[in-house]
Amino acid sequence: MLTQEIKRWEILTTSMRDINEVMPKIPNMRWGALMNKMPTNKKVKEMNRMFPRDGRWHTVFEEEEQTFVDGVRVWKKDPKSWA
């Protein structure tokens, strides 16, 4: 389990070094996101708040319980389970 997490982390961090070199530069682009799932309108609005308007590409890999944004793990929590 731990070795899988380490391999996933290595893949994400190496991809972050190269993604802005590989992806196209689009004039007047606020930000770009390379995602593993189709974004919804709600997700795009959330990313508008999260990402700076610097014209850079970001990686967003969503899983059932967690999301990796630029190689940083963000745990999803159910609002009903908040104390």
Domain ranges of the chain: 2-81
The string of pLDDT tens digits covering residues 16-51 is 556 888 888 889 999 999 999 999 999 999 999 999
* Tokens coding 65: 């319980």
Instruction: Give the integer Cα–Cα distance in Å for 19 and 13.
Output: 10
Q: Look at 1-5, 24-28, 53-57 and tell me which has the smallest mean pLDDT.
A: 1-5
Using 50, 70 and 90 to split pLDDT, how confident is the model at 12?
low
Q: Is 34 helix (H, G, I), strand (E, B) or coil?
A: strand
The string of pLDDT tens digits covering residues 57-74 is 999 999 888 889 988 888
Instruction: Please check whether residue 61 is in contact with residue 36, taking contact to mean a CB–CB distance below 8 angstroms.
Output: yes
